Structure 1
Amino acid sequence: MKILLAVDGSEISTRAVKHAIALNKALSKPLQVVLANVDEPLLQRVAVTMGAKAVERYHAENAEAMCRDARRMLKRAGIAFEEEIHVGDVPDTLLKIARKHRVDQIVMGSHGSGPFRGMFLGSVSAKVISNTSVPVTIVR
């Protein structure tokens, strides 16, 4: 089974990694994991002020920070993975990565949103779920 494991460095994405590790233990064949991180682009005026090299460094540092724990956990569990690091609209980019790799499932965390935080999915999760044909596991 090939999964897209979306991470953002949060405690909730750490839970998603733990879920993927548990799923790997439950399966007879090892998971194929695509570890994905998508960083939102900076506002145009901020990017222009910073300059191209500084923006590139900013996104590289963000990706490193957001993926560090997930990489460490997957390596410790003996799960091989490939990485997809991008800058762009998060749900759209995750969906493109999922299609590119022809994943069987997407695993991601949800922070929730709105005044009834515990009752609703976050906007990223909701958009991914509503625009894919593969199963999505949301970890909270």
Structure 2
Amino acid sequence: MKILIAIDGSKASGLAVKSAIGLAKAMGKPPTLVLMHADVPLMRRVAAELGTEGTRRYHQENHDHAMKSARTALKRAKLAFSEKLVVDDAGPAIAKAAKGGKFDLVVMGSHGRTALASALLGSVAAKVLSQSTVPVLIVR
């Protein structure tokens, strides 16, 4: 089984990691786990100011910060994992990665916003649910 765990560094994504660990421990054969962080693209002007290397470093630092607690939890659980950094809008990027990577399940957290806040701000979880062809486990 292949599980994609969407990470943004929030408490909600930490709960998703804990759920994925529980699922993995319950399986007879350890699943393939991939931690994915989708970082928001920089505005063109900012990216131009930073340059190619500066922009790459910026996204890598964001990725490392978001992954810190997830890495620790998975290492503590003695589970192997790999990581994926994508610079794109999170919802569509997660759905695309899940399908393209032939994952069996996406595990992600939800911040639990009200319906009005989600409608106004957009919800990554809602976008993934509406666009994914892969089953999605939302953890709150």
| TM-score after normalising by structure 2 | 0.89
Distance 1:99 1:115, change over 3 A: closer
Once the two structures are superposed, residues 61-106 of structure 1 have per-residue CA deviations (whole angstroms, 9 ceiling, x without a partner) of 0001011111111111111112111111111211221122211110
Alpha-carbon RMSD: 1.8
Runs of 4+ in 1 over 3 A off after TM superposition: 112-118
Cα separation, 2, equivalents of 1:11 and 1:112: 11
Unaligned runs of 5+ in 2: none
Paired amino acid for 1:94: I
Which residue number in structure 2 is paired with residue 23 of structure 1? 23
Amino acid at match of 1:8: D
- Whether the 8 Å contact between 1:38 and 1:88 is mirrored in structure 2 is yes
Alignment match, 1:37:
37
- Structure 1: which 5+ residue stretches go unaligned? none
Structure 1 vs Structure 2: percent identity of aligned residues? 48
- Change in 2 beyond 3 A, CA 1:114/1:44: farther
Q: Deviations over 1:28-60 (max 9, x none)?
A: 221211111110001112222232222111111
AA aligned opposite 1:85:
L
Aligned partner of 1:83: which letter?
Answer: E
The one-letter code matched in structure 2 to 1:46 is: V
- Give aligned pairs, total: 137
